[in-house]
Structure 1
């Protein structure tokens, strides 16, 4: 059995030796492709390449498509993934590739994305400056509810505290929010690699614990890893509980001379709820420090359908861009305005552009409802 600290380091460490070992493992990966067909109307999705995308990418795309999913999987080759032949009946193909194998210039009908992005907040010695990162509305809500709900931050240190958080907050929250797609750190790994190497915070309202966050200390960086609310309920999302906890933790870190709070990461889509929520703290958006830095996501459209256009328009992406920083890309056509309400402005995202789907998809097979009317076979 692999010790929890070894497994944690393999999955999360930024140590160059670990990152390099991941690269060697990725280089010998024999790829497969998973095709996801909707129960009702919607595009046929496929994911292939590096296996991490089956937990990080495909579930997100399925969730944004809706209509359930019927998956099938088969072996393929990197060459077939590169030209789309690996998933002939799919409308949209996402391929996770080692960065060394990414295309120098994305082929037609493709976008090159980071595999994941990281969000972090630099903190200095002034806790009051943390509030200035928030919008005036969010700042006013935080100050108002801090008083009205008697909110305080508590640091918990006992093993019983850890068990109470993991079982009574974290697991129920993951189940209620993500259902079958829930993923987390296993209990003993969380105990050994996070709790005993970091800090467990509770947010209290009138001395009652209503939410918690388990963080790891890495030098002068505090890494937010696991979160949860009492019994996994929905009310804390409406009452600003999570935002209050983040603000208080940022202030706690500033008071203790830490330099950065790592808010963890997500997939490179602006429609990702966690991105829009954490964007309120004006974090720096960057490539992860761990092995995900050396991976890319190639998003390839195989067929032009109404459902594909709906999905692309509703989910703007962050791409590697052509200059410094990431670039936000919004799709639109004459019937679908660009979703500019999904904001991109953050340090590390240098610009944005809009892309006309009529131009981007020109030359592809076109059908009004690809998965209902049947697919032409790709050459």
Structure 2
């Protein structure tokens, strides 16, 4: 079986260092906000090129706390994508704000800046772009919009650690960047974990209070806070993996380029588009095909995993059904009906990529 992602192979390659680091953390017995958490935050900030990095318990928490720290309040509108994981919209709802879904670019699957511009109202307070599948959103256009209208930008970087827009890392172009370290991510831990990047010292300090029960000093609580702290053992793992993230991303790009070169010659599939202005890190390799179900069945029969991210756009989810009844976002709906993600991970061998391609080619012959 060729899986969507092979976490075991990656672990085995780093096992000696990871196991040693975990044992040292166990012996130190500083499990909450310990030295590895502090070191990881410093190392992540240096890698991203941002002033501060504040770790939290998950990518969802990163979005939630970043919106609070950015001052988004009940009644505010936040423009975002309908073609993403639901955590993006959940975080907006958590702060009492209103998600405003606008349609996506048909090539990158990210927010379309022209549609964002058309959706801005007097209640709009923020834009929340998603760097979907590791492809940076059009940050130049979105940043100009935000600056022109006085809006806050919070980036959803859950799938884009190490991706670049121009020469800047995703997560460094807005008020805050929100990362997930779910195990299958480009930089993943062995449980849940998240991070918020920001150049604002005031926001970083506020985030540290929010993640720790609203406490700036033990048993002193200045506001309603949350229990959202990265585990010390997960920080050990992330520190080790961070040293390899560029190689991990190069491996993903190698696989993606092999896929795209071959798929461009196969009728009935459209490989993902890579925008010239950014560097895609391929958290997912997602093609489009009207023959999606047929391809999935052929891959399954050949012992090859595949997945659909995401089959139902957010505006069509049950949780939004009443409020967004009748709303049509045709590009997101079309992409959701045809998208198919193939296995992509740094350790995927060229021979296995070719085996996947041959199964697709034979299916569509």
TM-score bin, normalised by smaller chain: under 0.3
Q: Say which structure is richer in strand.
A: 1
TM-score normalised by structure 1 residue count = 0.22
Larger Rg: 1
